[in-house]
Amino acid sequence: MSGSNRVQDGKVVLVHYRLTLDGVDEVVDSTEGDEPMAYLHGADNIVPGLERALEGLGIGETIAVTLEPGDAYGEREPDAIQEIPHDAFPDDLEIEVGMQLTAEDEDGELTPLYVRAIAEDHVVVDTNHPLAGETLRYEVTIVDIRDATESEVEHGHAHGGDGHDHHD
Ligand code: ZN
């Protein structure tokens, strides 16, 4: 373990961020007025271009980066929309527009699905992330950097600011 406290693989990084679409002044997502977001660096918790941009930064540093879709949520695939009958979903699942679901195929491969619309006899889902095809602008401030706990490394994600968040 090196003595320097810089953003690198195996660190949990706490950030405040503001996400806008390039050229549009509307905030898509932000931690403003909220707790900073904690993520595990080097574990694909955040989009690849942002992870690269944050590498090596120290506490208190702020950056602004513009990311092409290939460095963010990917290009929008036109054939990614599917209609799925309601009875293909678990009975106790309350489906809402905008929610993210995960589909699992026979090989155990997981695919995220985003609910686009709900019709009487089916649900319209899209495998494109809602921000696919968009050029994104992130403004990020590094709030804190700490070593990941063993269970965070095992799970591949951060367990909150102090590493003790419980989850399923
Ligand atoms: Zn976990």
45-83 confidence digits (pLDDT tens): 999 999 999 999 999 999 999 999 999 999 999 888 999
Residue 19 lies in a domain: yes
48 and 67: one domain? yes
Ligand 1 centroid to 140 CA: how many Å?
Answer: 24
Domain that holds residue 136: 11-73+131-155
Average pLDDT over residues 36-44: 97
Ligand 1 centroid to 159 CA: how many Å?
Answer: 6
Residue 161 lies in a domain: no
pLDDT range class, residue 23, cuts 50, 70, 90: confident
98 and 15: one domain? no
Can you give the pLDDT at residue 104? 84
Ligand 1 centroid to 67 CA: how many Å?
Answer: 28
CATH number assigned to the domain comprising residue 110: 2.40.10.330
Ligand 1 centroid to 38 CA: how many Å?
Answer: 12
Contacts of 64 (CB under 8 A, 6+ apart): 137, 138, 139, 140
Ligand 1 centroid to 78 CA: how many Å?
Answer: 33
Question: Number of folded domains in the chain?
Answer: 2
93 and 135: one domain? no
Q: Quick check: 79 and 92 in contact, CB under 8 A?
A: no
